[in-house]
Structures are given as C-alpha cells and as structure tokens.
Amino acid sequence: MASPGCCWHSRFAVRPSNAISCVVLAVYVAIHRRDQLLRLLLWAAPVGVVFFSYQVMVRHSLIPLYLTAPKMRNPFWEEC
Amino acid sequence: MNFFSPSRGLFIFTPVFLFSLAGMVLAWRRRWCGGLSPYLAAIVVLHAMVVLTIWPGHCYGPRYFADITHLLMFFLIPTILWWQKSAAAGAYGMGGGILDAGWLGRLRARARRDIDRGQPVERASGERGYAHAGACGSGRCTIPARPEMILAIDIGGTKFSMAVFDGDAMVRRESRATDAGGGRAWMVAQIGEIAGAWRREFALERCGIGFGGPVNFGEQRVVLSTHVGGWRDFDLCGFVREAAGVPAIMDNDANVGAMGEAEFGAGRGCSPLFYMTLSTGIGGGIWEEGPHLARRRFLRRRDRPPHHPS
C-alpha cells in the first residue's frame, strides 16, 4: 500500500478488480452453501468496515479511484 | 495485449500459465473441487476481461495478473494430475492432456456418456457397471455423471443416514439409530417416512443406496443383513422407488464408499484406490480408473469379507 499524499497511484489501497473474487465467491456461497452465507457476511463485515472506513477517512472516497488514474502519460514524472 | 504483449504479456513472461487454461477446462469438466472450480475459473476470466479495460502503465511485466496468480497456479494442479496419470498409463502425456481439455475431450465425454447409457456390465473379473438396466426403474435406470437432486441412503448396522444432494452440495441430512429389534419393517417404515416428506419438499431425480451387507447387484436386491433380521432377498430399490418416486440403485456400502471417496473425497485423482470402512462391520472396495477413462465408472471389488460386528 502506498503512502497517501504522494502520487496519483497512492489513491487506492487495493485494485478494484479484487472485488471480482469477493463477489464471485459470495455468489458461490449464496448458491451452493446458503447455510453459510450469513456466517460469511458476518466475517466479512469487520474487514469491510475497516476497508471502507480507511477509504473514506484517508482517501476521501468510498471505493478506490484506480480507474480514474490519468492515462497515456507518465504521472510519476509529472506529479511527483 | 495483456496476454501476448512482448512487454507485459502474461503468457510471454510466464508461459507455464498456458497449462492453467487446460487446467481450468479439466477442472470444469470433472467438477474438480466440487462446484467451486467453475467459480474460480470465472474469477480468472472476469479478471482478465476487466484488466483489458485498465491502462497497463509504463512498467514491464504482467502486473495486473498478480492478483490472480494464485488461481492460475491452482489450476495447474489438475493439469499436472492429468499429466501424471497419463504418464503412468503411458498413453498420453501432457499433449494428450491438453487435447483432452479441448474438442477431443468432448468427443471422449460423449463416448463416455454413451457407455453410461448402455447395458450393465459385470465381467468375470468382478468389474461392475453402474449404468444398470433392470429391476430398478422403468426399463432403464442410469446414473449420469452429475444428477441434479439426489437422494442418498446409507443403511448400516447401528444407524442409517439419509441425505439430499443438490449437485455437490448436501442440503438435508438425517441420521437415526437402527432399532435392531424392529427389524426390516421398522427400518423401511423410517425410510418411507423420511423419503415421503422429502419427496414433497425436493425435486428428487435419483436415489443411491449403500447397504451394509451383501447385495445382489445384478438383481438389485438385498441378499441379507448380518445385523438386522428380515432383509433376506428384499427389493429395497423397489421400495424406495415407490416411497421417493425416483429410480434407485444400490450396492454394498463398502463399494459405494470407495466410489464416493474416489469421486468426491480424499481419493480424488488416485487410481487405483483402496477404501476400507471400519464401522459395524469391516469392508473394503477398490476403485480403478482406466487410462482412457472409458471404464472409470466401473468398480472392482476383491476379497470383501462378510460383515462381522465389531
């Protein structure tokens, strides 16, 4: 995780593509292990609370701004 | 671009992950890890589709696939298992494994289905086919690779268990202690009560029975029970067919235990597999998967001792 306040690529904690794994595995549990769904959500809740709290307080955004990064140029040389 | 780019292509930097593609197909076809592997494969595919839309940056290497490297490595396992098995058989090798994951695999799967739909085979060597036609249903009673809703019954000397499976997931289970004094009449009444209730609740398609005693597989009749009286030459499949409204097939519990462990349990991927049950009685089964999979549904049983109360 990059330190906040430096470059554009420091505005995220994880890539948003990691949400795919969370969603797909939750769908699997909901379909095939429905009796375990509540347990999954309860275990995921603390992680989610910490993640979203960090995002809002430090990054000032509920979700990572990875996709809004400037393209076709080198932001490292321009912004850092 | 993300796959074959000279500067950041996944398969350029780590070509071994090409085998992961074959592994995903193998895992999907064989329901490796139960119903989970299709979802894991979906994660890989969706991730690859998403990263195509993200600017890959100026650096070298397939860094966007770092998030799913563990899954790509995971799907190498079925390919390696297939390779090992084929190498042991001396028939295929890795190239054969990849071909099997493709269109040749579909052809072979079709051939396997045709075999499954065929007549039962009980060879002199003791091999038995589970594609059984005869006394267990309306003309033909086949057990396909993965029925949708299955009623499973395990009848033992000290307890009996019944369960309903939706694909690979067990959605209902009930176990009750056997009333040895009640004999067969008590047991079939219990089975009929539970099966009747579940029949109204679930859309059952088939039933598999493991019986803790000698079974006449060809006739699909119980030979006898050494623990509970009254079972001699009983048409248990016929009773279950009436009670649950589904075709049923039965074999000795050690045989079906070996088959279950080979297909779904700790023995998955192992062939031959020796399974031993230490329950009210002692029994064992040997599962053997042929090198060309044409006989993978046949079960070989050797030296099965009669049940003795432990």
Report whether pLDDT(A25) > 60.
Answer: yes
Whether residue A73 lies inside any domain: the answer is: yes
Among the listed ranges B166-180, B181-195, B204-218, which one has the minimum average pLDDT value? B166-180
User: DSSP state, B255?
Assistant: H
Domain B128-300 falls under CATH 3.30.420.40: yes
Whether residue A31 lies inside any domain: the answer is: yes
What's the mean pLDDT in B19-47? 85
Interface test mutation site (partner A, options B45, B49, B64, B67, max chain A beta carbons within 10 A): B67
**β-pairing verdict for B248-252 and B206-211:** parallel
Among the listed ranges A63-77, B138-152, B232-246, B251-265, which one has the minimum average pLDDT value? B138-152
Which one is predicted more confidently, B39 or B300?
Answer: B39
Which one is predicted more confidently, A17 or A2?
Answer: A17
* B residues 179..208 contacting A (CB < 8 A): none
Average pLDDT in chain A: 75
Number of H helices, E strands in chain B: 10, 10
Domain ranges of chain B: 10-101, 128-300
Which one is predicted more confidently, B213 or A10?
Answer: B213
For residue B153, give the amino acid letter. I
Interchain contact B52–A (C-beta under 8 A): no
What's the mean pLDDT in B42-66? 81
Model confidence at A2, pLDDT cuts 50, 70, 90, reads very low
So what's the pLDDT on residue B228? Answer: 78
Nearest 5°: phi and psi at B206? -150, 165
Report whether pLDDT(B125) > 60.
Answer: no
pTM (2 d.p.): 0.43
Q: Which domain holds residue A56?
A: 10-79
* Angle, CA of A72, B48 and B55, to the nearest 5°: 5
What are the residues facing B149 on neighbouring strands?
B166
Confidence check on the interface: ipTM exceeds 0.85, yes or no: no
Distance CA B236, CA B227 (A): 16
Distance CA B98, CA B22 (A): 6
Most confident range (mean pLDDT) of A5-19, A20-34, B110-124, B287-301 is A20-34
Are A28 and B167 a contacting pair at CB < 8 A?
Answer: no
Interchain contact B58–A (C-beta under 8 A): yes
Cβ-based burial of B37 (10 A; exposed 0-12, middle 13-18, buried ≥19): buried
Whether residue A1 lies inside any domain: the answer is: no
Report whether pLDDT(A10) > 80.
Answer: no
What's the mean pLDDT in B284-298? 53
Are B167 and A32 a contacting pair at CB < 8 A?
Answer: yes
Task: Extract the tokens encoding A12.
Answer: 């995220």
What's the mean pLDDT in B223-237? 84
Interface test mutation site (partner A, options B28, B37, B49, B55, max chain A beta carbons within 10 A): B55
Q: How many domains does chain A have?
A: 1
So what's the pLDDT on residue A28? Answer: 92
Question: Which one of B36, B42, B67 has the shortest CB-CB distance to A15?
Answer: B67
Average pLDDT in chain B: 73
Interface test mutation site (partner B, options A15, A17, A74, max chain B beta carbons within 10 A): A17
